[in-house]
Structure 1
Amino acid sequence: MTIPLRVLIGCETSGIARRAFAALGHDVWSCDTEPAEDGSNRHRQEDIRDGILEEGWDLLAVLHPPCTRLCRSGRRWMSGPGKWTEPKQLPQGRTWDDMRAEFEEGVSIFTACWTAPIERVAIENPEMNDLARDRMPPDLPAPQMVQPHWFGHREYKVTGWYLRGLAPLVPTDPLPEPERGSDEWKAWNRVHRMTPGPERARLRSRSYPGMMKAAALQWAGPAAHLTPTQQEARHG
């Protein structure tokens, strides 16, 4: 039997993760500054730093915190040679101050979630660049890197999970990979081949239902539903 947990899904509007955890009978809410796409009344439209992290959650899963300036691919826009030297080039219409402000926002949200008073935390984020790592809490581990095709999705998109109090995800429906350069291989890379446009960032950041189902079962299912404190209390 699964003991209902209070689960917060941060930085999510799609509801994919919220529904996966709710299917197990947990008390689940999502939170984002944007409204929920599915119109759910289990979604709070607010900044995750405005107090919701202090409301006694058992598990926090943060799906899409701002990471553009924290990830390795965004490093070139933040600094030139060395650290915090002016970049040689910036995105069209943007300033270095813009880049720094977005970097600080990403650091603020990530660290607020990682240091929240919640025993089990999972934050989805790509592998960080050196500038971001310099600003992270000292207990932050290396991320677990997973792929959608480990969970039944015919796609490539490296996903990093920074975990505290949770075990690494185990593949549940691994698919054989197509031959590199084949038409199928190109189709699996659709996320990386999307045409630039106003919807590109939102579509690229969407969660994979198979991965979220695995996360819910492995992190909050019958075999993993007790936090260390709950386990100690039960056996004490």
Structure 2
Amino acid sequence: MKVLIGCETSGIARRAFAALGHDVWSCDIEPAEDQTNRHIICDIRDGILAEGWDLLAVMHPPCTRLCRSGRRWMSGPGEWTLPKKLPAGRSWGDMKAEFEEGVDVFTTCWKAPIDRVAIENPEMNDLAKGRMPDDLPQPDMVQPFWFGEPAYKNTGWYLRGLPALKPTCVLTEPERNTDEWKRWNRVHRMPPGPERARLRSRSFPGMMNAAAAQWGGHAAEMERAA
């Protein structure tokens, strides 16, 4: 199966699909961390989506202004009213521009001429939902600890032509407010810094192994049945 992993530099998802024998490539505007020759440096909107892929998995598209937690920086009460506060050094125009970019990347990927699409994105705010395609379903929400990863990060997958991920190794959750519970919340407790956004968005290998096995297996079944 020919697979494109979009908006990823870590290589975690790419390696999970490659381990199962798929012809897989990743792409991003930044180089791959592992310096692989199976990574294309490009904007995912610049034509690569039309190159005959069987499956598209978009890992970390720009979502800061699309998610519910980011709404307060873009609008006050109602729709597109002046926010009460803006991030330091940023303008309302900056927020709107980032919002438009997020919408454009997401909708371009969703409408791609590819039979099977999975886009990782948090649950969207009302402003973003109003700009989404009519056929966009509710996200399938999963947690890393369902796939053997001791961590909390509510992860949404918008799926077209693919089944919801099934848990593979559900860990017992730690007691709230214990040291272990705090470690499980490390993604949310990560301190500010230049690497924070990149580290917070990294894929979890256990979840990507499940995605490669389940989505790849589903695609193979569909091909045999065709």
TM normalised by structure 1 equals 0.94
Mapped to 1, the partners of 2:151 and 2:225 lie a distance apart of 40
2:182 paired residue among 182, 186, 201: 186
Mapped to 2, the partners of 1:92 and 1:166 lie a distance apart of 41
User: How far is the alpha carbon of 1:231 from its aligned partner?
Assistant: 4.3
| Structure 1 residues without counterparts, runs of 5 or longer | none
Opposite residue 27 of structure 2, the aligned amino acid is C
- Residue 216 of structure 1 aligns to a residue whose secondary structure is helix
2:132 aligned residue: 136
TM normalised by structure 2 equals 0.98
1:225 aligned residue: 219
1:173 paired residue among 165, 169, 172: 169
1:9 aligned residue: 5
Deviations 1:95-141 (A, max 9, x none): 00000000000000000000000000000000000000000000000
How many percent identity over aligned positions? 76
Deviations 1:19-53 (A, max 9, x none): 00011111100000000000000000000000000
Deviations 1:40-75 (A, max 9, x none): 000000000000000010000000000000000000
2:203 paired with 1:207: yes
Q: How does 1:17-166 map to 2 (within 5 A)?
A: 17-166=13-162
- Asked if 2 retains the 8 angstrom alpha-carbon contact of 1:120 and 1:227, the reply is no
User: How far is the alpha carbon of 1:182 from its aligned partner?
Assistant: 1.4
Opposite residue 225 of structure 1, the aligned amino acid is A
Mapped to 1, the partners of 2:47 and 2:191 lie a distance apart of 37
- Residue 176 of structure 1 aligns to a residue whose secondary structure is coil
- Residue 192 of structure 1 aligns to a residue whose secondary structure is coil
- Asked if 2 retains the 8 angstrom alpha-carbon contact of 1:67 and 1:125, the reply is yes
Deviations 1:133-179 (A, max 9, x none): 00000000000111010011111011000000000000001000011
Opposite residue 184 of structure 2, the aligned amino acid is W
